[in-house]
Structure 1
Amino acid sequence: MSGQNQFALLRQRRFLPYFVVQLLGAFNDNVFRQAIVGLLGYMAIDQTDKALYTQLAPAIFILPYFLFSATAGQIAEKLEKQRLIRITTAMEIAIMSVAAVGFLTQNMVVLLGALFLTGVQSTLFGPVKYSILPAVLRPEELTGGNGLVEMGTSIAILLGMIFGGLIFAVAGTQGPWVAGAALVLLAVAGNLASRAIPRVDAGAPELRVRWNIVRESWAIWQLTRRRLAVRNAVLGISWFWFVGTVLTGNLPVYAEAWLGGTPTLYVFALALFSIGVGVGSLLCEKLSARTVEIGLVPLGAIGMTGFLLDLYFARHHVPATSGLDVAGFLAQPGSWRVVTDLTGIGLFTGFFVVPLFALIQSRTPKAELARVIAGLNIQNALFIVLAAVTGIVLQMDSLTVAGVTVPLPGLSIPQLYLALGIANAVVALYIFTIVPEFLMRFLSWLLVRALYRLRIRGVEEHVPDEGAGLIVCNHVSYMDALILAASIPRPVRFVMHHRIFNIPVMRWIFRTAKAIPIAGAREDPELMQRAFDQVDATLAEGGLVCIFPEGGLTRDGEIAPFRTGVERILARAAAAGRPVPVVPMALKGMWASMWSRRDSRLGRMRVPRRFRARVEVVAAPPETGQVTAAMLEARVRALRGDDA
């Protein structure tokens, strides 16, 4: 692993122009939407019409996601991606020109029509926005790249809302001219930036675009459900939009009624959440050690729940004061607790959503990724609408339908946030129950980061991104499988001695990770045969398997001779016409760490030289062809060097 981090991507042409395009797009969309609100105030229309337009605008913007996401996903799959981005940014120039005319003529019909077209343009850009990343980034850069995108998007949305809201307040009678000019100039800047994006080949150029909206929307949504982990990552991201919509949609009233603030305080509260999301998104690369670490998802869910619950207890009574600006609010007792909660919710939301995007990108075939993202966008739109309706209904005391009055909870906004925190815990528990890999990776991540300082070299480059692969590694401690699982982006099935497999507590983690217990031929020949059968079946399905060919933990820190079981595995796969690449790996620094072989002289677990020992995982290029146990042993010895 080099010292580079995600910020190095901002100096590279393969990422920077794309990053600027999506940043300007998110900024411009929100300038437009807030400028419409500003124009309503400038036109001094009555409150009824203003409320109608304010509620209608979000619905008009989101409608195209339902109507055109399926078509957009197919187009993004079929066309070369840089060309498609140029087309969508050119569309933005034309749409914002129409919007400029709407501002100059103060015509709300024209503006709402332009808003609908902006939704269409965003729908077309959505699938290419995330499907382009695996094509331009290396596997170890996916988490950092997604973190930058999420950070940029959240900050751009915030700044766009602030800028759009200030146009009419600052420019006065020149507001329509300033709004129109700003929108067109931002669109032109986005198009110019798009021309610097390098060519990125289409995912499926031979794909035939089908125009039946209903049928293709269903088919594309079904694509998101083919792989269990991807299906639930999609569900997790949609839930992120649900939580964000309920939280931010009620934030203006919460800031005024429950924090005693002015509209300025609402912007401050929104900024806390947005900055938290940005910081959390950026921290994902550091916390994941540059791998796709879905163990951060449970951490994010736990943090979101904790801070949402505390937000209720921090402020659930109507304040005695009102009309507070930011400084006045911060001077109030308990205000910093609210600040911490809003920032914490955003921070852990970043931990929650960034690894989910990276997981979808890393585990979806490239020829399907744009369509899967389109299916995700359809589901996101549904959850956003559901969140808005749910937030309204739960705050009502009753609802009369066909002459029948139905009692409703009539929750206050703090109570709504409390319910949201409880619901977040339930949804997270549901996801982690049906996909235990999320929780297992979290426990692995927690244990490994608590006990070791881990460094990874060559894993991202040499472990196949997809398809079958066999990993061989030296065996030093009871924690080896967890360390390797935390280092390898893809799911791995580990073959381990049944006595290690059955260690209390660890047994649940190993079983959840679908580890394969094995015994020696003399000890339990039936268990050994079952293990070889499971290894062969996993490789036949295109999975990764890791074995420790020494057959047991090292007794003295040195590598023992590799047994020939690895040759048996490879011969069986080759006989079936399925040659398998073998990736040699070495664990360095483990012998001096906790959980290695008991010391024969002291009769207890080895005491580490220092707390959180430095451990390194090193991988070499895959071996193919005629591979022997002796050859692999030599490779692993060379990788480990003199450092046990």
Structure 2
Amino acid sequence: MSHASQFSLLSQRRFGPFFWTQFFGAFNDNLFKTALMVILTYDALSWTTLDASTITNLIPGLFILPYVVFSATAGQIADKFEKAGLARFVKWLEVAIMAIAAAGWMTHTLWLLVAAVVGMGIHSTLFGPVKYAYLPQQLKADELIGGNGLIEMGTFVGILLGEILGAVLVVHKPLGVELVAGATIAVAVVGLIASYRVPLTPAAAPELKINWNPLSESIRNLGFSRQNRVVFLAMLGNSWFWFYGALILAQFPVYAKDYLHGTHGVFVLLLTVFSLGIGAGSLLCERLSGRKIEIGLVPFGSIGLSLFGVDLYFASNSYVNTYVVDAVALLAQQGAYRILFDIVMIGVFGGFFIVPLFALIQTRCDREHISRTIAGMNILNALFMVAAAGVAIVLLGQGMTIPQLFLITAVLNALVAVYIFSLVPEFLMRFLAWLLIHTIHRVKCVDAERIPAEGAAVLVCNHVSYVDAIVIVAASPRPIRFVMDHRIFKMPLLGWIFKTGKAIPIASAKEDPWLMEKAFVDIAQALHEGDLVCIFPEGKLTTTGEMNEFKGGIAKILARSPVPVIPMALRGLWGHWLSRNKSNVFERTFRGGWRSRLALAVGQPVAPAEATPEFLQQQVSKLRGNWK
């Protein structure tokens, strides 16, 4: 089925005005912050006696400090009030803050500029819960990953353009600070105009009574989020990325000046390639995920963040130029392209990491609590970014170099990834499934949207190979509890995969009657909890390529739990090296060539009263057709 490009959302009122509202907000934040950091890095003595490294880590810390204090309140406000009106209020606030900043620029008053940094932090704190709660209300389920990708792309392109313009304008002689003051007010006004086109978006919980105590509400908010383990760990994963990104980005001004021996144009170039990488990775998520929320991309992103972070350390140590260079001259230096490539790839894999996490949080948290969940995530983000600023200041103060800081961050990322994925094996299982269908196979999903996005159901499918379950997982928008032959759990790799995926082992009554009965109890419990359960009613792998007779287990399941049944059929797996085809294994492995074609066809739901083994076998057989 063909789908409109995610870019088509930009032309629709339900998305376009909101996109531009948040874009200009991110643009202005970074125009202002970057201009301030550049002037304090390259002209520090005219403004302050503080060390440049301390300033470049302190300003981001001050910006995100309001997230810690006000996020819980902002989440309540976003759930209680209509979101288009809130967006306009935030934009008016931005205009006022930029007017204060303009006074600071024009009078050369640093404390006014610092106050404006905190003010823009408050502005972003208020808008954050609105931004991510707005999308699930206005976008369809299959648009959510593309919409989040566009928002992340727009955010980082806005960051990029704001950083470039801020770095360029502030050093323009003799009117640099005047140009920055005028530009920030102008951009705030443009964002305000865009906000008046955002459509009405009703409050999720208009009856909510706001708790104005930020401390108690923050504790309550995080406590509520922790009740959903997967969502909370996704929030932690997202916050870790902001620790990683904040720590690296904060070093760019000094790294460009003292390590690459570059002008401020080199600093702008580093920001450019990083932001382009984030934008590209965010947009690629829709294509790589097949328009569904594919959390298998999260481990993939984490691997890239560590690999290219480590290589950035080695690339930095290999850079030998000692002369001052601008952005163009940097490209002629030995090792410069390797450094830039590492930075852009950190951005790309960062996009793979955060976009699915945002979509997962939006879809799996309580719909009436979504803004407060996002606010809780913002609290965590803020704490992690404050920690990043503190860690950088301490480590650099102890004599550590910036490249060594890159290395430590990359190694920590690997350790954090192992920890999170060990707690939520679903991430890793989805990654293995995603890897299988994007490397070894090309899988076409036919009517996969018939797999229900919520609620209990039983999936039934023909059984062709030992990788059937992994192919089905890759097509599903949500976790599946598979009922598998107990002997598979004894296989070294596949057994571990299915155990981590909470598969249900089953045996025949002759082999182990207790295990068989326990399997039916576990199935009933899973369906009672609203899970998807997948069974292979043949009870064994085919040895001929033809379907075996469906056994009566499905009737026993539906007698206890009368839920819809979704027939499915795998095509193209007969002859796979993990099937029971008796021909030569090497010939079978390479018969289809690299990336052999497979398909998964999904049928219409069958009511439990009609779901007899015979009828379901007919449906699966029709779906499979002649392609084994």
TM-score by length of 1: 0.90
Where do 1:136-151 residues align within 5 Å? 136-151=138-153
Given that 2:577 and 2:585 are in contact with CA atoms closer than 8 Å, whether structure 1 keeps it comes out as: no
Structure 2 counterpart of 1:30: 30
Where do 1:321-400 residues align within 5 Å? 321-397=322-398
The Cα shift of 1:266 comes to 1.5
The Cα shift of 1:202 comes to 2.8
Where do 1:245-284 residues align within 5 Å? 245-284=246-285
Structure 1 counterpart of 2:599: 616
RMSD: 2.7
Provide the C-alpha distance between the structure 2 equivalents of 1:55 and 1:524, rounded to a whole number of angstroms: 63
Q: How many equivalent residue pairs?
A: 624
Structure 2 counterpart of 1:639: 623
Between stretches 213-222 and 38-47, larger displacement belongs to 38-47
Where do 1:123-142 residues align within 5 Å? 123-142=125-144
Structure 1 counterpart of 2:12: 12
Cα pair distance change 1:265/1:83, threshold 3 Å: same
Residues 114-148 of structure 1: CA deviation (Å, up to 9, x unaligned): 43332222111101211222223333333222222
Provide the C-alpha distance between the structure 2 equivalents of 1:317 and 1:590, rounded to a whole number of angstroms: 48
Cα pair distance change 1:447/1:108, threshold 3 Å: same
Between stretches 469-478 and 370-379, larger displacement belongs to 469-478
Between stretches 178-187 and 445-454, larger displacement belongs to 178-187
Structure 2 counterpart of 1:481: 469
Look up the equivalent residue of 1:267 and give its one-letter code.
V
Look up the equivalent residue of 2:528 and give its one-letter code.
A
Look up the equivalent residue of 2:566 and give its one-letter code.
V
Structure 2 counterpart of 1:563: 551
Selected match of 2:97 from 89, 95, 98: 95
Structure 2 counterpart of 1:596: 579
Given that 2:56 and 2:253 are in contact with CA atoms closer than 8 Å, whether structure 1 keeps it comes out as: no
Selected match of 2:438 from 428, 431, 449: 449
Provide the C-alpha distance between the structure 2 equivalents of 1:82 and 1:127, rounded to a whole number of angstroms: 12
Provide the C-alpha distance between the structure 2 equivalents of 1:167 and 1:522, rounded to a whole number of angstroms: 80
The Cα shift of 1:174 comes to 7.5
Given that 2:38 and 2:167 are in contact with CA atoms closer than 8 Å, whether structure 1 keeps it comes out as: yes
The Cα shift of 1:338 comes to 1.4
Structure 1: tracts of 5 or more residues without a match: 398-409, 575-579
Structure 1 counterpart of 2:305: 304
Cα pair distance change 1:602/1:261, threshold 3 Å: closer
Residues 456-508 of structure 1: CA deviation (Å, up to 9, x unaligned): 2332x333333322222222222110001111121111012223343331111
Given that 1:472 and 1:584 are in contact with CA atoms closer than 8 Å, whether structure 2 keeps it comes out as: yes
> Are 2:486 and 1:498 equivalent residues in the alignment?
yes
Given that 1:585 and 1:619 are in contact with CA atoms closer than 8 Å, whether structure 2 keeps it comes out as: yes
The Cα shift of 1:379 comes to 0.8
Where do 1:186-265 residues align within 5 Å? 186-265=187-266
SS at match of 1:546: strand
Cα pair distance change 1:248/1:477, threshold 3 Å: same
> Are 2:81 and 1:79 equivalent residues in the alignment?
yes
The Cα shift of 1:57 comes to 4.1
Residues 510-548 of structure 1: CA deviation (Å, up to 9, x unaligned): 111111121222332222111111111111122221112
Look up the equivalent residue of 1:626 and give its one-letter code.
A
Residues 366-396 of structure 1: CA deviation (Å, up to 9, x unaligned): 1222111111101111111111111111122
The Cα shift of 1:625 comes to 5.4
Residues 383-411 of structure 1: CA deviation (Å, up to 9, x unaligned): 111111111111223xxxxxxxxxxxx21
Structure 2 counterpart of 1:439: 428
Given that 1:472 and 1:549 are in contact with CA atoms closer than 8 Å, whether structure 2 keeps it comes out as: yes
Residues 144-186 of structure 1: CA deviation (Å, up to 9, x unaligned): 222222222112111101112322433733852x434433332
SS at match of 2:492: coil
Between stretches 252-261 and 65-74, larger displacement belongs to 252-261
TM-score by length of 2: 0.92
Cα pair distance change 1:335/1:175, threshold 3 Å: closer
Look up the equivalent residue of 1:274 and give its one-letter code.
S
Provide the C-alpha distance between the structure 2 equivalents of 1:597 and 1:76, rounded to a whole number of angstroms: 56
The Cα shift of 1:449 comes to 2.2
Between stretches 308-317 and 529-538, larger displacement belongs to 308-317
Look up the equivalent residue of 2:133 and give its one-letter code.
S
Selected match of 2:611 from 596, 614, 628: 628
Look up the equivalent residue of 1:535 and give its one-letter code.
I
Provide the C-alpha distance between the structure 1 equivalents of 2:91 and 2:538, rounded to a whole number of angstroms: 57
> Are 2:499 and 1:511 equivalent residues in the alignment?
yes
Structure 2: tracts of 5 or more residues without a match: none
SS at match of 1:132: helix
Cα pair distance change 1:531/1:191, threshold 3 Å: same
SS at match of 1:146: helix
SS at match of 1:455: strand
Cα pair distance change 1:582/1:111, threshold 3 Å: same
SS at match of 1:172: coil
The Cα shift of 1:69 comes to 0.5
Selected match of 2:171 from 155, 163, 169: 169
Between stretches 46-55 and 558-567, larger displacement belongs to 46-55
Look up the equivalent residue of 1:28 and give its one-letter code.
N
Structure 2 counterpart of 1:577: none
Look up the equivalent residue of 1:596 and give its one-letter code.
S
The Cα shift of 1:448 comes to 2.8
Cα pair distance change 1:355/1:174, threshold 3 Å: closer
Provide the C-alpha distance between the structure 2 equivalents of 1:60 and 1:259, rounded to a whole number of angstroms: 27
Between stretches 187-196 and 524-533, larger displacement belongs to 187-196
Provide the C-alpha distance between the structure 2 equivalents of 1:450 and 1:215, rounded to a whole number of angstroms: 49
Provide the C-alpha distance between the structure 1 equivalents of 2:382 and 2:344, rounded to a whole number of angstroms: 25
The Cα shift of 1:509 comes to 0.5
Between stretches 220-229 and 66-75, larger displacement belongs to 220-229
